[in-house]
Amino acid sequence: MLRIRHGAMALGLTGLILVQAGCVSTSASLTTAVLPAAPASHDELSKDKQIQTTLAFARNLDKSGSDDGAIDQYEKLLKLVRDHPESLRRLAVLYDRRADFSNAESAYKKLARSHSRDADLMCDWGYSYYLRNNWREAEAKLRRALEIDSHHARARCNLGLVLGQEDRFDEALTMFRQAGLEEADAHCDLAFVYWSRGRSFYDRARRECVLARQLNPACSKAQELLAQLDEAQSPRKSRVAASTPMPQTQATKPMTSEERHEKYPLPPGWARVPTKTNTQAAAASAPTPSVKPANGSISQGTVTFD
């Protein structure tokens, strides 16, 4: 799919309106969900009851978009059940959304020991590397996901995002098409890749948006990205940029993964994937598209419009 990365990275308008670019798997966040009462003191419950209560509370916080609270409960669950699979899986995604990549990596490694042939896991792990600007590891994990499941659309979309960051634009477009995207959506995802590469690629991004709208005049994603480009290329902004002195080191200093995470958050739906193979849809909350890239949560893997 096309802000891009625990689906799509795996791949598409993976912030915009981005990263995480990409196609991640329970249903979208329920911002109006009523949260349950906090679990009773562990001293008052048997261990099994503690586990059930803590897990239920964590899931509800997770679905409601209360990331900090969900992380706290999942971490408590790990103290009750060592390497609890669901807790590790959700924590990996939530850590990625907070750009806490060290803890995310630890969770992925633990999961991989017992789920080495889990395509969803490899896809999310690859998307995590995408968010960290580690294209080599991102590509390796996403290709591993496709070895396990050659029909994994989210992994193909996320791989397209990664290839685009490596200047392999033709291969990126091929991946978007192979994921089963409509032709207009595939060009929108490629437009996003160009847009995320910076000002020197804006003309290419605009060309892909125009082509997408020719293929599908109702393509709102292309219109949203064109609005981003118009804003970024407005004469006033150009004059301000030209008059602002740039530090000598800025031209060669790469963007950190945290800066990328913040600059290119993935909006829901930049790349529509034909199948729902996500195991982490609960992590797919993202900022509402706006005229200006907004800071916000990242969809794990290729993103989809709801």
Among 42-51, 90-99, 203-212, which stretch is predicted with the lowest mean pLDDT?
42-51
pTM of the complete model:
0.68
Please report the pLDDT score of residue 17 as a whole number. Answer: 38
Percent of the chain with pLDDT over 90: 59
- 8 Å CB contact between 65 and 78: no
Please report the pLDDT score of residue 233 as a whole number. Answer: 86
The DSSP 8-state label assigned to residue 45 in this structure reads S
| pLDDT value at 285 more than 50 | no
Q: To the nearest whole number, what is the mean pLDDT of the chain?
A: 75
**pLDDT, greater one: 297 or 36:** 36
The residue length of the chain stands at 306
Please report the pLDDT score of residue 18 as a whole number. Answer: 41
Please report the pLDDT score of residue 237 as a whole number. Answer: 55
Among 127-131, 181-185, 285-289, which stretch is predicted with the lowest mean pLDDT?
285-289
Mean pLDDT computed over 46-52: 91
**By C-alpha distance, which of 271, 256, 268, 260 is closest to 160?**
271
**By C-alpha distance, which of 62, 77, 54, 106 is closest to 297?**
62
Element (H, E) at 183: helix 183-196
Please report the pLDDT score of residue 21 as a whole number. Answer: 39
Alpha-carbon span 304 to 21, nearest angstrom: 10
In which region does residue 56 sit, left (phi positive, over 0), alpha (psi from -120 to 50) or beta (all else)?
alpha
Please report the pLDDT score of residue 235 as a whole number. Answer: 77
pLDDT tens digits, residue range 25-48? 433 333 334 555 565 555 556 889
Half-sphere exposure (Cβ direction) of 129: Cα atoms closer than 13 Å: 23
Alpha-carbon span 97 to 81, nearest angstrom: 24
Element (H, E) at 133: none
- 8 Å CB contact between 58 and 77: yes
**By C-alpha distance, which of 58, 9, 6 is closest to 176?**
9
Confidence of residue 274 (pLDDT cuts 50, 70, 90): very low
Alpha-carbon span 94 to 302, nearest angstrom: 16
Mean pLDDT computed over 258-267: 46
| pLDDT value at 205 more than 70 | yes
| pLDDT value at 180 more than 90 | yes
Alpha-carbon span 205 to 234, nearest angstrom: 15
Give the amino acid at 300.
Q
Give all domains of the chain, ordered by start, each with its CATH number: 42-235+257-283 (1.25.40.10)
| pLDDT value at 104 more than 50 | yes
